[in-house]
Amino acid sequence: MKSHFIFAVLILFLCSSCAVIRPGEAGVKQTLGKFSDEISTQGVIYYNPLVSKVIKESTQTNNIKLVLSLPTKEGLSVNSEISILYRLELKKIPTILENLGQNYESIITSVFRSASSDVCAQFFAKDMHSGMRATIEEEIKSKMLGNLEKQADGVELIAVLMKSIQLPNGLASSIEQKLQAEQDAMRMKFIIQQATLEAERKIIEATGERDAQKILAQGLTNEIIKLRSIEAFVKLAQSNNSKVIITDGKTPLLIND
């Protein structure tokens, strides 16, 4: 009975002294507060639970979601849902844990709040609702990278995404009206261009017809007219239908000088 108890205790001790590292994770052993430089990405880590423990961190892309009120150049506040995409550099995970602890996401969030306030205060509220949003996101990311290198070296910032921009009601209506007016102006410009092209086409067509008539008129001599008249008379004569031909006695068809 005693041997069974000892065996059970031994099994329990062995189970509590190993950690399983799954794909997408990294494990770092901490012994008496000091982190090991050895990083495990898959498999089992054995350790002494009395003096050591294993810290697991994700090596995949992580997403921090925030809802913030951002200042604008005209002194307004714009609410926005923010996504901060980042991942940890594998080789620097022990350094991150040693300098920042496991609560490093709070540092990333603080850096973002500072950078976003500085950048957004340089833009108008309408810029966040237009094509300028991508520029604002890139400037926030650039400013964050500079600060993270000083405070959280080893955190790789992938992207800053501003979503669900909520402008003040009055401003949102004004922007919508302006955008509608711009679309109407573009539509009218297109209609005017089409009308101009159609007018130019008609002018070219009329000019061509006029020139053709001039050329034709210059080439019509009395002899050619008589020849054409004879040809027409011959074609009429070949027809089986009855016909009346009016003539002045000189040509098959009546032609006024």
> Quick one: which of 69, 63, 77, 84 has its CA closest to 144?
84
Q: What is the DSSP string of 183-218?
A: HHHHHHHHHHHHHHHHHHHHHHHHHHHHHHHHHHHH
Alpha-carbon gap, residue 150 to 115, rounded angstroms = 14
User: 82: exposed, middle or buried (C-beta count within 10 Å: 0-12, 13-18, 19+)?
Assistant: buried
Residue 14's pLDDT is 46
- Which amino acid is located at 76 in the chain? L
Break the chain into its structural domains and give their ranges.
14-58, 62-169, 186-219, 221-257
Model pLDDT, residue 109: 92
Question: 186-240: per-residue pLDDT in tens?
Answer: 888 888 888 888 888 888 888 877 776 776 666 666 666 677 777 777 776 676 7
How far apart, in Å, are the Cα atoms of 167 and each of 72, 179, 211? 11, 15, 62
pLDDT of residue 13: 45
Given a cut of 70, the residues of the chain with pLDDT beneath it are 1-17, 168-180, 212, 215-225, 236-237, 239, 241-257
Whether the model pTM is above 0.85: no
Confidence (pLDDT) at 119: 92
CA 161 – CA 88 distance, rounded (Å): 19
Within its chain, how far is the Cα of 54 from the centroid? 41
Residue 238 is predicted with a pLDDT of 72
Q: What's residue 168's pLDDT?
A: 64
Q: What is the reported pLDDT for 10? A: 45
Q: Distance from CA of residue 186 to its chain's centroid? A: 22
Q: In what order do the strands lie in the sheet with 77-88?
A: 62-71, 77-88, 155-166
In contact, 52 and 29? CB cutoff 8 Å? yes
CATH of 62-169, one of 3.40.50.10330, 3.90.1300.10, 3.90.180.10, 3.30.479.30: 3.30.479.30
Tell me which long-range contacts 245-252 makes (C-beta under 8 A, separation of at least 24). Answer: 251/226
